[in-house]
Structure 1
Amino acid sequence: MKKVFSIFLVLILMVSMLAGCTPKNTSSNDTPPAENTSPNENKPVEDTSSKDGNIVKIGLGHSTSIGKSKDLAVDKDGKDILPVGQVDTVIAAVGFDKDGKVVKVTIDTAQTKVNFDKDLKVTSDLTAENKTKVELKDDYGMVKASEIKKEWYQQIEELEKWMIGKTVDEIKSMKVKERDESHKSVPDVPELTSLVTVTVEGYIAAVEEAYKTAVEIGSGAEKLGLGHEISIGKSKGLEVKDGKETLPVAQVDTVMAATAFDKDGKVVGTIIDNAQTKVQFDNKGIITTDKNAEIKTKIELGDAYGMKKASTIGKEWFEQIAEFEKWMVGKSVDEIKALKVKERDESHKHVPDIPELTSTVTVTVEGYIAAVAEAYANAK
């Protein structure tokens, strides 16, 4: 009896051992992991097309309006309304990836005023620095009227963040609402309703223009900056000399640059343009410039700008600036600032004086270099 029981125990032990040697998870629905397979190898590939360092195109978008300029007038209480030439220029520097998605974006607005007295003399300081809304920061003064207690530059930063990773079509399809007569295109999407209460139509249009006019750049771009230089120095008041009348004009020159830089701070690509905007008045202080007309930059004017006929090298402004942009590629801002220049005449005191540019660029370049240097300082 004991012998039978012993044999029975041995059989049980053998069955248990065989069961322990059976591979687990071998049903027909299970596939064992392949040899040398990383745990993450079968996961979906992360889309990195909109991350830093993948900028393949850059664009410079802008729009200019003089619609808020004012005539000399008298209000219902008999108080003088003094004339002002106001030029509002929205600017956007945008970097796009190979799929047209926004990788980098900086938006700003230059709201520049030239004030006159009732005798139509300029009262604005023609040499003063003119700051954009981003540069003004808290001094712009929006926060006191903001229902969300955010300044303009803070709101535009949130809008820029929202744009990252989106195509222009996706950005344009943003749902908006009318807040009041002056704010007809305010974001109406959950991500922005508590962060952006400004009207965004003009900013989206600038980004769209940046996409439409974008140019391909070399590889290695990691940062993109927006730079600008604003001057009202060519504005003039009413003057009569030797029987000749010079009519008042508010002239605002807004140089802008969208520039991409590599990890070493060298220029990978840049776009430079200049909005030379004039608001003209008659001798009664009434604006004679069409306030609703499209205002074009020098690049947009192309041959119509009319420099070629006066150029010693027979090249238009857009052709010369394109040559200057090419020269900058591969150089650091310090190298660009070290460019040797010469004075051609009283109006052209910083003309390139190096063999590579003397036959292609005869415009004064001081403001363009300053705009690229600022783009570097602001690059992100």
Structure 2
Amino acid sequence: MKKLLSLVLVLTLLATSLVGCTSETTTPETPAETPAETPAETPAEAGSIAKVGLGQNISIAKSSDKTEEKNATAQADVTMAAVGFDAEGKVASVTLDVTQAKVAFDENMVVTSDRDAEVRSKKDLKEEYGMVGASSIGKEWFEQAAAFEDWMIGKTVEEITGLAVKERDASHTHVPDVPELTSSVTITVESYIAAVEEAWENAVDAPGAEKVGLGVETHIGSSKDATADKPATAQADTYMTATAVDAEGKVVATIVDVAQVKVAYDAEGKVTNKDAELKTKQELKEEYGMKPASAIGKEWFEQMAAFQEWMAGKTKDEITGLTVKERDANHTAVPDVAELESSVTITVDGYQAVVAEAIDNAR
């Protein structure tokens, strides 16, 4: 009897073991309390560059009058954007920059600023701009601008202009109000958005472009002291370009412009043109009024169109190596090549310089 009971017990244990073996082939269910992983948000992407645009806006709002306590100071702020767009209108490359050219006067409205000094842009100044001490996130302007540029990549102009913003204070009325920029951009961005929007509106075809660069150069040398006959005028000339290059570094397309910003004062040292519409040479077109003084009867924008066309297909060295001549004291670098003789009689050294910089900085 004991042997029979032992046999039954062995058979029972064997059966239980077999049932356990078959259950191991079944994949266990994920426990209900274990959350499924949420995939990380994929950054927006853009295709290859199909168009290049240059956008800008100008302000002299920070210029101050002469008072009993303070002398006058003129300030010309020019905000720029060089943008490469893909075939769908998405931003594929963007570079932002700002020049803040200041011209100081003494009590007699005589210019005290160094007329020959280099006026560097915010991007050129980098840490020297000195914003980090006042930044709530401890970032300089160039660092915040880089973060904003990165955010724009892969987005259309409609998406960029539709950015949610907030007012941080009276001087910062358009600060990004989206989580992805909270810790990287606390500057007000309306002028940068406007420049990018204008770049899209002015964009030209750039077939074969790999990169786009921004070139900038600013001078205050044409500022005038007050005299017995004329009140003072501050003038800041900002040369700018958006230039697209191919894989070999040759220019595919380039747009060159100049903001000739004047801050006019009256005899008492008060700014008289704060509400004036300020336009670049490209925007002025015939209003610039160079044609009557032109030996070839062409306006500035027409001559620049010819020079831009000449630069297409050339390298930086070929552009900067252009043979030039001195026409007079105000025109010391006029093209001296047969193909430009009847189309470009303006001095071009400033334009060569910004295009060269744009090619070096292309991204």
| TM-score where L is the length of structure 2 | 0.87
Q: Secondary structure at the match of 2:253?
A: strand
Deviation string, structure 1 residues 90-124 (Cα, Å, up to 9, x no partner): 00000000000000000001111000011111000
Task: Determine whether 1:234 maps to 2:222.
Answer: yes
Equivalent-residue separation in structure 2 for 1:182 and 1:231 (angstroms): 27
Q: Compute the displacement of 1:138 (Å).
A: 0.6
- Aligned counterpart, 1:26: none
Residue 362 (structure 1) aligns with: 345
- 5+ unaligned residues in a row in structure 1: which ranges? 1-45, 75-79
The answer to whether the Cα contact below 8 Å between 1:49 and 1:97 also exists between their aligned partners in 2 is no
- Report the counterpart of residue 200 of structure 2 in structure 1: 211
Partner of 1:199: 188
* TM-score relative to the length of structure 1: 0.83
Matches within 5 A, 1:137-156: 137-156=126-145
- TM-aligned CA deviation for residue 247 of structure 1: 1.9
Aligned length: 322
Map of 2:19 onto structure 1: none
Give the corresponding residue for 1:266.
250
User: What's the counterpart of residue 32 of structure 1?
Assistant: none
Question: 1:336-347 maps to which residues of 2 (within 5 A)?
Answer: 336-347=319-330
**Equivalent residue for 1:293, pick from 266, 272, 276:** 276
Q: Report the Cα distance in structure 1 between the residues aligned to 2:45 and 2:345, rounded to whole angstroms.
A: 40
Q: Which residue of 2 aligns with 1:254?
A: 238
Partner Cα separation in structure 1 for residue 321 and residue 230 of structure 2 = 39
Is 2:52 the counterpart of 1:58?
A: yes
2:89 to 100, 105, 117: 100
The residue that corresponds to 2:336 in the other structure is: 353
Q: Which amino acid is 1:89 matched to?
A: V
Contact 1:308–1:317 (CA<8 Å) still a contact in 2?
yes
The separation in 2 between residues aligned to 1:71 and 1:204, in whole angstroms, is: 30
Taking the aligned partners of 1:193 and 1:269, their CA distance within structure 2 comes to 36
Query: SS of the residue aligned with 2:180?
Result: coil
Task: Work out the percentage of aligned pairs sharing the same amino acid.
Answer: 57
Match of 1:324 in 2: 307
Which residue of the partner structure matches residue 295 of structure 2? Answer: 312
The offset of 1:239, in angstroms, is 2.3
Q: 1:222 to 1:135 in 2, by over 3 A?
A: same
Secondary structure in 2 matching 1:234: coil
2 CA distance for matches of 1:103 and 1:348? 38
RMSD: 1.4
Q: CA deviation at 1:49?
A: 7.0
Listed as ranges, the matches of 1:124-139 within 5 Å are 124-139=113-128
The alignment status of 1:68 with 2:62, answered yes or no, reads yes
Task: Decide which of 348, 358, 361 is 1:375's aligned counterpart.
Answer: 358
Q: Distance in 1 between matches of 2:61 and 2:43?
A: 43
Distance 2:275 2:350 in 1: 28
User: Amino acid of the residue matched to residue 258 of structure 1?
Assistant: A
Q: CA deviation at 1:177?
A: 0.8
Indicate the SS of the match to 1:169.
helix
Q: What are the residue-to-residue correspondences of 1:78-117 with 2, within 5 Å?
A: 80-117=69-106
- Please, which of 272, 275, 278 is the counterpart of residue 259 of structure 2? 275
SS at match of 1:356: helix
Who is 1:221 aligned against? 209
Query: Whole-Å Cα distance in 1 between the matches of residues 131 and 45 of structure 2?
Result: 36
Q: Is the 8 A contact 1:104 1:164 kept in 2?
A: yes
**Amino acid of the residue matched to residue 215 of structure 2?**
G
Give secondary structure in 1 for the equivalent of 2:150. Answer: helix
